[in-house]
Amino acid sequence: MTQTPAPPGAARRRHDREIIGLAVPAFGALVAEPLFVMADSAIVGHLGTGQLAGLGVASALLTTAVSVFVFLAYATTAAVARRVGAGDLRSAIRQGMDGIWLALLIGAAVIAVVLPTAPGIVELFGASQTAAPYATTYLRISMLGVPAMLVALASTGVLRGLQDTRTPLYVAVGGFAANAVLNVGLVYGADLGIAGSAWGTVIAQCGMAAAYLYVVVRGARRHGASLRPDAAGIRASAQAGVPLLVRTLSLRAILMIATAVAARLGDADIAAHQIILSLWSLLAFALDAIAIAGQAIIGRYLGAGDAQGAREACRRMVQWGISTGLALGLLVLAARPLFLPLFTSDAAVHRTALPALVLVAVSQPVCGVVFVLDGVLMGAGDGPYLAWAMLLTLAVFAPVALLVPVLGGGLTALWAAMTLMMTVRMLTLWLRSRSGRWVVTGAAR
């Protein structure tokens, strides 16, 4: 008996349900992460300016150290999702355990490097004599939580690969609540000052890691997956992560160059740049949520050998990226007069920021395509191409940005360079998606 073809919109609706089901909880988890730093800042800020400045330096170092290893989530998501698509849940969770063991090894190495060198690192980043002791205290204590933070990253990747973004949301919300309560209790109740804030964060991060491990280990036992470290599997996880590490470092270099250039333009420019960058990062959370859905969905389709399904899902997610980018851009344009006064009443900063905000708004559809295709190629395990594409983008952006103080144009010119950077990324990713070379089916790439 001949099957009746599905209605034209049926596949689109199916993809929409999958994207929304994965992206919405992922967005909630992404937004919860910066709340850790915000809660710490609000609590420590009442101790004094020196303590808050020290927290600012230490938390920036900690955030940078952890974000460099975000490949633990990305690479694990792709590898696990492929095996889920192939119907081999035992192998999928085994692959996830390899990523978790790698996270523990990296975390131990970070502690071994940072603990004895913390004062020198703080000094290198320009902390004042008043802030340096507080920064060193916070950094040394908070570093003890790095293995837990990296395990949380890898475990999040496991769950995303298993098509579960709700559990990371619940853990993130619970971790944020615990962090806030612990910080208040240890900073003021136990009178530990900034050290109490660091210990509160470490305890909360360890609790989050324990919650993730409970879920993953329960799944491993259910499907008969081994929990023991496997040298070959850990090595494979590391090899898959190296190209994504290169990509992340290149992106961090771009952001650092942009901040350094803004600092050379003047006080109003660097103040406006920081405000705009914070908004740009917030908008990125919404777009990155779609990218996370893309990693999980594309990996699953390719693992199941469904190349056509992967291409269709890619097209639909690009449409989502463009639509979301347009909506975010219009929101930025409409909210410009209300947004800036939240941060400063300085008229000079307002005048400097407004034209650059227009560029941010206009570029959001481009950002939408970039984030989605980035997620698609990550889900396909196409890390080496992503690394080379980001290095090319850095090579284009750096000279253009560094010429801004020479040629003039101020902050608007700098954000024009940032828009150029995103456009180059879009072109490299679009060309790859059009080539079809990322479509490699099977349980492993």
Is there a contact between 305 and 442 (Cβ–Cβ < 8 Å)? yes
pLDDT for position 113: 94
pLDDT for position 7: 59
d(CA 162, CA 164): 6
Rama region for 193: left / alpha / beta (φ>0; ψ in -120 to 50; rest): left
382-402 burial string, b = 16+ CB within 10 Å, else e?
bbebbbebbeebbebbbebbe
Per-residue pLDDT of the chain (445 residues; tens, 9 = 90+): 334 445 557 778 888 999 999 999 999 888 777 777 777 778 888 888 889 888 888 887 888 888 899 999 999 999 999 999 999 999 999 999 999 999 999 999 999 999 999 999 998 877 788 889 999 999 999 999 999 999 999 999 999 999 999 999 999 999 989 999 999 999 999 999 999 999 999 999 999 999 999 999 999 999 999 999 999 999 999 999 999 999 999 999 998 899 889 888 888 888 888 788 888 888 998 899 999 999 999 999 999 999 999 999 999 999 999 999 999 999 999 988 887 787 777 788 888 889 999 999 999 999 999 999 999 999 999 999 999 999 999 999 999 999 999 988 899 999 999 999 999 999 999 999 999 999 999 988 8
d(CA 143, CA 54): 15
pLDDT for position 1: 38
* pTM reported for the whole predicted model: 0.91
DSSP letters along 231-253, please?
A: HHHHHHHHHHHHHHHHHHHHHHH
d(CA 184, CA 385): 46
d(CA 58, CA 329): 33
Question: H or E segment at 210?
Answer: helix 194-223
